[in-house]
Every structure is written in structure tokens, then in C-alpha cells.
Structure 1
Amino acid sequence: MVMGEMFAQLGSVAAGAVFLWAMFQQYFPHQLRPYMEKYSHNLVSFVYPYIQITVQEFTENSFRRKRSEAYAAIENYLSANSSTRAKRLKADIVKDSQSVVLSMDDHEEVTDEFHGVKLWWASNKSLPKMQTISFYPTADEKRYYRLTFHKQYRDLIVGSYLNHVIKEGKAIAVRNRQRKLYTNSPSQKWYGRKKSEWSHVAFEHPATFETLAMESKKKEEIVNDLTIFRTRKDYY
């Protein structure tokens, strides 16, 4: 009986809220609605004790649309650290097509913890309000991650946690990085910017320096030379 009365009260409250919203939409002056929305948002932000940070998949400027490095790092971090707690996952093959990496599916949420502080990561996707005909419909979708945490931990999350996530995500990307062989062979059949673009294929050659038949001293010299080149990234 108590549960039935509770659901009945909730139903009455919901119906009353819907009625008030309909009355607001119909009779409240349009000129005053922006002010009403502004103060309502301020009231909600004052009462709501949580902060949300959104990271979009792409950053756009007047020249081009570029995938956000922060988004990619967060994606790697969540794939390695939070996918075991997600109920809905996406699977992809990386690392020379020899391993499967799981990541959060769209509209999924997982929790994380940093120095005893609990946080929530959500993976979302927004669709354009107006439906358009496109050869690349996925380009119209906007994916983003949203981080939610209590406002009393603002300094810890903004100052330390986000840097930790970006650093860990980039390190994971290096470990999972697929070797690629690049070439630049423009064709007259290409058009516009693609005439000078580089293309790549996965480099899956089975030979390594360990399996290469060569004089040991000469092999060591070559490996050392390549190591020096690799560690001097800023110079080259």
C-alpha cells in the first residue's frame, strides 16, 4: 500500500510538472524567456554540487576539422582502465591485427577513482537537429566524453587528474601503435588537396634485427645509430 501511494504521488507530481511546462510554453512572454532560462540555470548550478567537463572528438576552425588529441588520449585511457566495468562495449583490432581492444559504447557510463575521489565518465553521441543527405553520414555525428565530479575537488581534477589521464592515454597509444609504411605518390586522378597527401599501409614484415643474418658488431652499430635517431625526436 505504501509503495502504491508513493507511485501515485510521483505520478501526480509528474503530471503537474508537465501541465506547468505546457502553461509556461503557451502563456509566458517570449521576450522574458531568455531571462527566465538564465536565472533558472544559475539556480540549478547553485544547488547542483557537481561539475561537468566535456571533451569533443573533433576541434573545428576556419581551415579544417581535426580530431582532438585530448579525446584520443581519454579514449585510450578509458579502454585500458575502465572498460572492465562497462556493460556495453565496442571491439576493435589493433597492434598488427593480433589483439582486440575494448572501449566504451555510445551512451555508456563508467566510474573512475583518483586519490580516493570518485568520478564518472560518460561516452555520448549527438546527432544533427536537421536531417541532411550525405555520402558520409557518420561525419555529422558528434561524439564526446563527459566527466562529472564533485565541485569541491575542482583543483585536484583540473590540476592533476586530467594531466594524469592524458599522459596515461598517450603512453597506451604508443604501446598499441601499429607500424605503418608511408609513401607519397600523387596521381593525376586525384583532386584538390589529395594530390600531395601521404598514404600508408600496415607494416607487417616478419623480419626483425634479432632474426636478421648480419655480423654482430655491424648489427650493433646500426641498432645504436637508429636508437640515437629515435631518441632525438626534437632535433630531427
Structure 2
Amino acid sequence: MINPSFPKIPPTDMIITHLGSIFATFMFIWAIFQLYFLNQFRTSIEKYSQRLLALIYPYIQITFNEFTGERLMRSEAYSAIENYLTSTSSSQAKRLKADMSFSLYPFTADEKRFYKLTFHKRNRDLVIEPYLKHVLKQGKAIKVTNGQRKLYANNGSNWSHVVFEHPATFQTLAMEPYRKEEIMEDLVTFSESEEFYSRIGRTWKRGYLLYGPPGTGKSTMIAAMANLLGYDIYDLELTAVKDNTELRKLLIDTSSKSIIVIEDIDCSLDLTGQRRKKKEKQEEDDEQMKDPGQKGNKDEPRTSHVTLSGLLNFIDGLWSACGAERLIVFTTNFVEKLDPALIRKGRMDKHIELSYCGFEAFKVLAKNYREIERHDLFPRIQDLLDQVKMTPAYVAEHLMPKSAPGDPRTCLESLILALESAKQAKDSELCCM
């Protein structure tokens, strides 16, 4: 009798070992496939699916995020669209439609807000060029008309702001009328010259140098400029800026339609002639040699390493093109102390001298403070102002004394006494020479 032969069954542990080996081989092959083939396959699928979708779905979408860039700056385009839509529709609307077969939708996803513009591809040229330009231009104009202006100040590489509510205007500015008209015309012409600056290949900006004795109204002039054009003001304190890199970051963070102001530029940094004497430097070095720990004292004021070249690049270098429609304003009491490279034409395009109070400026002050346009004491005041140098700020102090709030004559007589006293002092000095 022949016994049938049966194959020997491997032990269970050997089967598990073989299955594990097969599974490991499969996973290795799958990993290689994912690494070298699946991504390319997925990319190809997405590429061709988008092409197929474009044939079937005839609409194009453009997304405008609220924050853009690595530093999460608020997008000017988003703000302009927000202003444009808010001016023509309810801010509570769930869906906002525009005419000409395209629509804008506000979305919120994961606390990130954005607007999405959807339009038919046959309107591509119409939307990309005239429509979007119209929306952005109108949105910026609405911000200027309805929005509150802001006054910014720098703390290190960051800006903080408050609402700008200075009441100064060119109508209330103590200056000769013809000079005010000239400055106002220059400012308005600048604000309307976008196409001109683009055509000649220059950055849309303009520099103003305001100079004159203290109390002649330089800061008031800046406020009047901002109120005339509807611009924000960035008050840049150079001594709080660590270096040129930080200065560039501050410039990038400024918006269009703004005035960047550096007051008292002659005293801001070493770069304008206020350099320390060698003796002072040597004394400081000697002190540090005696006590090396002083060098790292955290209580010492922050030292700025902004250089003249860094400031010049800020004004009209490559980085100055990061934005448009900006005024850069320097003020100084001593224009002769400034480096000529800093104030040449092309950097500070317009130089405005704010000098002592003349009779025309006095009449503006008298109307502002006392609401008077004529008085029998005016001729005497005119005669004295022609002979004596007195700042508008000092004249204004005599027009608003607490002792006689309702009596213009008392104020004018007080001013005449001050002018006569100044004239006598001047005559005495001339006699002693």
C-alpha cells in the first residue's frame, strides 16, 4: 500500500517572517513610487485637470488677502477694496455684486479675511486693467475723503499711531498770501501727477526743506500740508533707529499718500555736522578702559548707527521706490549746518523759508485769534514789524493773554510795547558797535 506524500507545512513563525519580509518590500517599493512617481503623477493630474476645468468652467478668480508678505503687512489693495465696497453697500452683506458680469465676495476662513473677485474669462482684459484700477483708485480716494488721518511715530523698527486731529490749514497759516498760494499749488500739482512721474521714470515723491528760526511755524506748516492733501504723517525719530537696515524696514512699512517727517535734521544724528570732538571720544574710551563693564550697561541710551549714505538711500535711493505719492519733509533751524548732499535739488526739491512775522502774517494771526481785520493800531504795528524781528509764535502770545480775553485793544497795545522794547534793544546794540 502506497502512502500518499504531502508537502511539509512550514512552521507558523516562518510564515510570519516571510509575510513580514514581503510587506516590508511592498512598503519600500510604495515609498519609492511615492517619492519618484506619485508626486509627478499628481502634478500631471492637477495640471491636466485644471486645463480641463478651464474648458468647462469659464470663470476666473482673483483673491485679495488682508495680510500679505512675510511680515504680515495689511494689504493696501484689500483696504482699498474694503473702502470701495463699504461706500456703495452694507458692511453686513453676505455677498457683494458688481456690474459688468463680475462680482466681489468677502470671505473669512480660519480667521484670515480676503476678497475674491470672480469674472468670466471673456472679460479678462476689462477686469485686469480698467476695472481693478478703478476700484483701487476709488478706494484710496474714499479713504482720503472719509477716513481719519493718522500720526505715526517709530519705536525701533515698528510704527505706532494716534488719530491726527491738528486743526491747522493754509487759511490759518501766518504767512504772506502769495507764498501760501504758491505752496498749495505745488502740493496739489504733485498729488495729481501720477502719470507725469510714471512717464519720466521717476518715483512719485517730492522733498520739502522747511527752515527758519524757532517759532516760525514749521510744524504747523506740516500739519497744514497733511490736511490739504489728506495724507497721514510719519514722524521719524532718527535717534531711535538702530541702523540702516532698520531704517529701510521703517520705510517699507509706510503707506502711500503720506508725509515722512524728520524734524530738526541738523540735530538728529552725527551725520549732519554734529560730530563729537576727538577729545570727548578719547575721554569716553578712557572711561571704558577703567571700567569695561560700562560698555554693556543696559541703562545706556540706544546708539543709532544710521549713516549719511543710509539716509540718502532712504530719500531717493532704490528703496525709496517702495511706495508712491509720498512727501519727505525735513525741518531745521540752521540750514547752513546741513550737508549739501542732503538738501540738493532732487532730494529736497523745494526749499521753504519760514521767517519772522511780517504785517501780512500778523493780519492772519489777528483774524485767527481776535477776529479783527482792521484797527487803528495796525499802522503802528506795521511800522514796528518792518523794523523788528519777531516770530509768529511770539506775536501770537500777545494776541491771546488771559488778562484781557475780550479786549483786542489791550492785546494790541501789549504787542506794541513788546515791539518797541525789542526795537530799543536793537538800537542799543547798533550804538555799541
Q: TM-score range by the shorter chain?
A: 0.5 to 0.7
Residues 112 and 68 (structure 1), Cα distance of their counterparts in 2 relative to 1, 3 Å cut: same
**C-alpha distance in 2, partners of 1:123/1:169?**
16
| 2:57 equivalent in structure 1 | 48
Summarize the alignment of residues 43-122 of structure 1 with structure 2, pairs less than 5 Å apart. Answer: 43-61=52-70, 64-81=71-88, 83-84=89-90, 89=92, 108-113=94-99, 117-122=100-105
Alignment counterpart, residue 224 of structure 1, candidates 171, 177, 181: 181
Summarize the alignment of residues 124-143 of structure 1 with structure 2, pairs less than 5 Å apart. Answer: 124-127=107-110, 141-143=111-113
Residues 199 and 222 (structure 1), Cα distance of their counterparts in 2 relative to 1, 3 Å cut: farther
**C-alpha distance in 1, partners of 2:62/2:177?**
49
Q: Which has the higher contact order (CA 8 A, sep 6+)?
A: 1
Summarize the alignment of residues 196-235 of structure 1 with structure 2, pairs less than 5 Å apart. Answer: 197-205=158-166, 218=175, 220-221=177-178, 223-224=180-181, 227-228=184-185, 230-231=187-188, 232=190, 234-235=205-206
Query: Which one-letter code corresponds to 1:203 in the other structure?
Result: F
Residue 183 of structure 1: how far off its partner (Å)? 4.4
Deviations 1:12-60 (A, max 9, x none): xxxxxxxxxxxxxxxxx97355544443333222101111111112221
Higher-Rg structure is 2
Query: Which one-letter code corresponds to 2:69 in the other structure?
Result: E
Aligned length: 156
Residues 154 and 182 (structure 1), Cα distance of their counterparts in 2 relative to 1, 3 Å cut: closer
- With normalisation by structure 1, the TM-score equals 0.54
Residue 195 of structure 1: how far off its partner (Å)? 3.0
Deviations 1:67-122 (A, max 9, x none): 222111111111112x14xxx61xxxxxxxxxxxxxx5xxx321111xxx221111
Residues 235 and 39 (structure 1), Cα distance of their counterparts in 2 relative to 1, 3 Å cut: closer
Structure 2 unaligned blocks of 5 or more:
1-32, 192-204, 208-433
Shift >6 Å, 4+ stretches: none
* Amino-acid identity (%): 45
Residue 158 of structure 1: how far off its partner (Å)? 1.1
Query: Which one-letter code corresponds to 1:166 in the other structure?
Result: L
